[in-house]
Structure 1
Amino acid sequence: MEQYELTKSFSSSFGEINYDIKGEGPPIVLVHGTPWASYNWRYIIPALSQWFTVYYYDLLGYGKSEKSEGDVSLGIQNKVFSELLNYWELQNPIAIGHDFGGATVLRTHLLEKQEFEKMILIDPVAVAPWGSPFFTHVNKYETAFQGIPEYIHKAIVSTYVQGAKYKSMDQETLEGIISPWLGSIGQSAFYRQIAQASQKYTDEVECLYNEINTPVLIVWGEQDTWIPIEKGHKLHSMIKSSEFVSIPNAGHLVQEDDPSRLLAYILKFLQV
């Protein structure tokens, strides 16, 4: 569908990034998490583009961006994001980050010194401890996972991603989410990004959250089983310039479970 096609590309220092731009108005940038892609913003982009120029892209190693072997960790994503912001010549845009995208926005602000007019963090990976037994297992046996038959891999990814949504996931959404992770390149990329996930990247910046003065909205799905809402409350207490809202009957993928309510909170925070 037109609203989430990526028609443009940028050669970062770390690999090729596919992105797109929609709408007119003040700049707003969407940063997805793992194992997602810009596809998961497809219900958010058309509405925001009525008031803003919306920039969105696939993280290095995800979606339609380059998936070659190498570092695709959180330690690299903030550098890629900073390069993109400079390439787009954006100064002080609004940044919205989900999951790892929230961590990337925070790291880009605190480590790359990129300023944002406002930040919106949706169920972000931001407060220790985080990770899962599955992440630990993949980290230990990454090569073995990369070598499993494709039909087993597809079943693993399908089961895994459906756990992020509170409401049942329809087949079209499921296919849209898992398609970038299929085939030999996609399969390797899927386990590579999990194996490289490390809490050290949020530990680096967690002690700096109290220095944030930018207005921040933290949004959390009340039924998030991936990152419990208690982590959201803790993050809210650490960022003195933050507001906190929760969305009932929504899991980790709030933008899929309840995009309308999420949009309402975003627009209210941005005073549209």
Structure 2
Amino acid sequence: MQGMELSSGPIDYQDTGGDGPVLVFGHGVPMDGAQWRKVVPLLDGYRCILPTLPLGGHRRPMHPGADLSHRGVARLLGEFIEQLGLDDVTLVLNDWGGGQFLLLEEQSRRVARLVLVACEAFDNYPPGPGKALAAVCRIPGGLRLLTQLMRIPAVRSHPKGYGGMSRRGVPDEIMKDWFAPATRSKAIRRDFAKFATSAPGRETLLDWSRQLAGFDRPVLVVWADEDRLMPREHGPRLAELYPKGRLVEITDSSTLVPEDQPEQLAAAIRDFLHQTGAAPSTGARPEGR
């Protein structure tokens, strides 16, 4: 794991290295790059970069005054891409959809392609149980109590909560690790609550969504057919929103497509990259990366 200091605080990240086209992966709440652990090995020939964004699963707290709204975290992601000096980036998102709002910022010039995998869109911020999470975060001590409850395996895996995000089931040690930072640190809980309660009103979200139609580069929308959090109709609607959007539907999967159908997802991403001028490098990755 490597680290970088940004204007809002430290960001840790993984980087597979190599000279192939660059893919930057976002993640869900309060997850990290482990969300993509089954997919990245199937993308040989690409440089895969996985930042741990301040969505509650990060290990080091952000500055107290950091803007951790959806737009704020999107700008932070753009700053991260700039600091690494990356261009022609393919941005890949799953669950958290706020990374799309980077396209409304000046830093969007570095994004050449977008892959949206079963993620928040339109006015679905936050989706389903996320609304209850936001309500808990507004109660003094509420998030601390929730993170303590999340130490119980049966609570973590409950099908009406995080357990329902995957048909295969996220390994308990992975999910436990996602909640561990907020369980241990008051400052991480502060960041978590700040983000979880940051979604603007419906009209603002829909206005931002309309503006996304100005992104004229290729977009792949990958939607799951058994997703309880992201409405089925949002997949085709997103593909229509973007001028160069295309839709792939994945069967037998819930929100966490990288968990449920990593092979199908990796194949869809590879096909999309080939078709849009980002063929993989044939060179070997550097040792130790």
Same fold (TM over 0.5): yes
Given the alignment of the two structures, is residue 83 of structure 1 paired with residue 79 of structure 2, yes or no? yes
The aligned runs of 1:117-132 (5 Å cut-off) are: 117-132=112-127
Three-state SS of the structure 2 residue aligned to 1:97 is: strand
**5+ long unaligned stretches in structure 1:** 1-5
1:123 is paired with a residue whose SS is strand
Letter in 2 for 1:85: I
Match of 2:223 in 1: 220
Q: Return the offset for 1:60.
A: 2.2
For 2:146 and 2:123, locate their aligned partners in 1 and report how far apart those are by CA, in whole Å: 34
Q: How does 1:98-113 map to 2 (within 5 A)?
A: 98-100=94-96, 102-104=97-99, 106-113=100-107
Stretches of structure 2 lacking an aligned partner (at least 5 in a row): 280-289
TM-score (norm 2): 0.81
Determine helix, strand or coil for the equivalent of 1:250: coil
Identical-pair percentage: 22
Structure 2 residue corresponding to 1:142, chosen from 129, 133, 139:
139
One-letter code of the match for 2:222?
V
**Pair 1:64-2:58 in alignment:** yes
Bigger RCO (CA 8 Å, 6+ sep)? 2
Alignment of 1:22 onto 2:19: no
| Structure 1 range deviating more: 145-154 or 256-265 | 145-154
1:194: how far off?
1.9
User: What TM-score do you get using the length of structure 1 for normalisation?
Assistant: 0.85
Number of corresponding residues:
263
The counterpart of 1:245, out of the listed 248, 268, 273, is 248
For 2:201 and 2:37, how far apart are their aligned partners in 1?
29
- Of the structure 1 ranges 117-126 and 178-187, higher mean CA displacement relative to structure 2 is found in 178-187
Larger displacement relative to structure 2 (261-270 or 193-202): 193-202
Structure 1 stretches of at least 4 aligned residues deviating more than 6 Å after TM superposition = none
Distance 1:270 1:133 in 2: 32
Alignment of 1:114-263 (within 5 A): 114-115=108-109, 116-132=111-127, 134-140=129-135, 141-148=138-145, 151-155=148-152, 156-159=155-158, 160-185=161-186, 186-199=188-201, 202-263=205-266
Aligned to 1:3: none
Deviation at 1:205, TM superposition (A): 2.0
| Offset at residue 222 of structure 1 (A) | 0.9
Are residues 149 and 134 of structure 1, via their aligned partners in 2, closer, same or farther at CA, if it must alter by over 3 Å?
Answer: closer
Distance 1:226-1:111 versus aligned 2 partners, 3 A rule: same
What is the root-mean-square deviation in Å for CA atoms of aligned residues? 2.4
Equivalent-residue separation in structure 2 for 1:28 and 1:19 (angstroms) = 13
C-alpha displacement at 1:117, in angstroms?
A: 2.0
Match of 1:93 in 2: 89
Q: For the structure 1 residues 89 and 135, does the alpha-carbon distance in structure 2 shift closer, same or farther, using more than 3 Å as the test?
A: same
Question: Would you say 1:36 and 2:39 are equivalent positions?
Answer: no
Mean Cα displacement is larger for which, 162-171 or 207-216? 162-171
Distance 2:146 2:95 in 1: 29
Residue deviations 1:183-232, cap 9 Å, x none? 24355554443222345664352111322210100001111101122111
Q: 1:153 to 1:198 in 2, by over 3 A?
A: farther
